[in-house]
Amino acid sequence: MPEYRSQANGARVLADLNALRAIGAYKSGVHKPTFSAAHMESLHWLAQRLPEAQLTPTIDGIGNVFGTSKKSGPKILAGSHLESQNFAGWLDGPLGVVYALEAARVINPDSGLGGAVEVAAWCDEEGHFGHFLGSRSYIGDLTEADIDSAKDRTSGRKMREALREVGLADRPRARAELGRHIGYLEAHIEQGDTLESSGLGIGIVTSIVGIWQYRITFTGEQNHAGTTRMGARKDAGLALARLCVAIDERFPDLCSPRTVWTTGRITLDPGAPSIIPGRAEMLFQIRDDDPGVIDRLENALTSIATEIGAKSGCKEDIERLRTGVPGLMDERFQHAIAEASNVFAGGRSLRMPSGAGHDAQILARIMPAGMLFVPSIRGISHHWDENTTDGDIVTGAQVFVDACRRLLAG
């Protein structure tokens, strides 16, 4: 390996990740919902570290943390997020933030290296209050009305109330300064098992899926479970179960090889064993990086629901809750990650799409963006068992710092 004057300090990266893991620890992972005490402590932890990288810290009016540099020359923006899913893993988010901090600590004080790394921790990537609220705010895609209507999906707490309680209500929201950055680079755990099962160290992300989400409701007739003949029922629960099966039978003929769909929650109303449900609702999600595929699947969903509604004597309703924004990663950024992987990961890298959503797909709407992945042990994520070996974490940090250096050098 060539001698580099400036390299990631692996021990420092691991120590920082473990410090963040200790804040809001839960089993082997963390519990840090957006604007919880543990999340806010993590934001302040980062703000206190940023001066080590010659960055001025700010936390803005939506809970984004920024470290800005006064160094002359080109600037690259790097980061990820610090909140977690409920009772989930320690690396989903913090890995990318700590790599960004490390790149800034290595590159910014080095007067022999032109340019600087600026750091961002985007608020609420995990969607407790909405989706990508922090990064969307930064690119100018979040209105005051969006914030007025946002509520925590678990507790129902209003976002305005949460912002007041954590002391951010009166702060301005930071907006991207066009032309300030040559682009945005984010690192993340893969959250799947492609890298691990292929013995690879680095994923070079080519595209990021869009996420489409729906509330599907059947309304039938609530009635007595003992006295209502089977033929006379309008069972909304049965209609919903039929829909789940029909989706699984029909979608495979219409989807792309990478499309995925998930029923995240089913609610039967009133939900008692002696009562035929009069209402049944499910939250349903589809992911793909091609909106054309989603169009086909949405049309199929509508016609399947109509058929099943008619057969079950129920009225169907499909409400779209979220529209996906797939993101394409910049070719120059992919190339820089590949070159850095050749030096620091023995070329054990793979170009691959991301099946998880990331803030990079939002930033990609206003500047070139790139992402790199490190392996996830057994592909587990959104669970406290989520993990990556220390060796893979350190290799990823070295590749990340070197990719930043290459991009700044043009």
Task: Please report, as ranges, the residues that interact with ligand GLV according to CB under 6 A.
Answer: 126, 356-357
The distance of closest approach from Cβ of residue 75 to Mn ion in the complex, given in angstroms and rounded to an integer, is 23
Q: Are 174 and 58 in contact (CB under 8 A)?
A: yes
Q: How far is the CB of 275 from ligand GLV (least distance, A)?
A: 34
| Interior/surface letters 375-401, b for 16+ CB within 10 angstroms, e for the rest | bbeebbbbebebbbeeebbbbbbbbbb
Closest residue to Mn ion, judged by C-beta, is 92
Q: What's the rounded Cα separation, in Å, for the pair 151 and 185?
A: 29
DSSP letter at 344 equals H
92 near Mn ion, rule: CB under 5 A:
yes
Smallest separation, CB 287 to ligand GLV (Å): 8
Q: What token pair was written down for 391?
A: 């060796």
Give which of ligand GLV, Mn ion, none residue 357 binds (C-beta under 5 to 8 Å, depending on kind). ligand GLV
Q: Give which of ligand GLV, Mn ion, none residue 24 binds (C-beta under 5 to 8 Å, depending on kind).
A: none
Nearer to Mn ion, 121 or 236 (CB): 121
Using rule CB under 5 A, residue 93 touches Mn ion? yes
Q: Which is nearer to Mn ion, 45 or 251 (CB)?
A: 45
Smallest distance, Mn ion to C-beta of residue 90, A: 12
Burial class (CB in 10 A: 0-12, 13-18, 19+), 322: middle
Is 353 buried (19+), middle (13-18) or exposed (0-12) by CB count in 10 A? middle
Interface with Mn ion, residue 134, by CB under 5 A: no
End-to-end CA distance of the chain: 22
| Residue 359 binding result from ligand GLV, Mn ion, none, given CB thresholds of 5 to 8 Å by partner type | none
- From ligand GLV, Mn ion, none, which one binds at residue 375 (CB under 5 to 8 Å depending on kind)? none
CA distance 98 to 101: 5
- Contact window for Mn ion (CB under 5 A) among 87-95, 212-220, 294-302, 306-314: 87-95
Minimum separation from the CB atom of position 279 to Mn ion (A): 31
Residue 233 contacts residue 353 (beta carbons within 8 Å)? no
How far is Cα 305 from Cα 219, in angstroms, rounded to an integer?
A: 12
Out of ligand GLV, Mn ion, none, what residue 93 binds, judged by CB under 5 to 8 A for its kind, is Mn ion
Amino acid (one-letter) located at 387:
N
- By CB under 5 A, which span of 50-58, 93-101, 133-141, 387-395 interacts with Mn ion? 93-101
CB of 346 to ligand GLV, least distance (A): 29
Contacts with Mn ion, residue ranges (CB under 5 A): 92-93
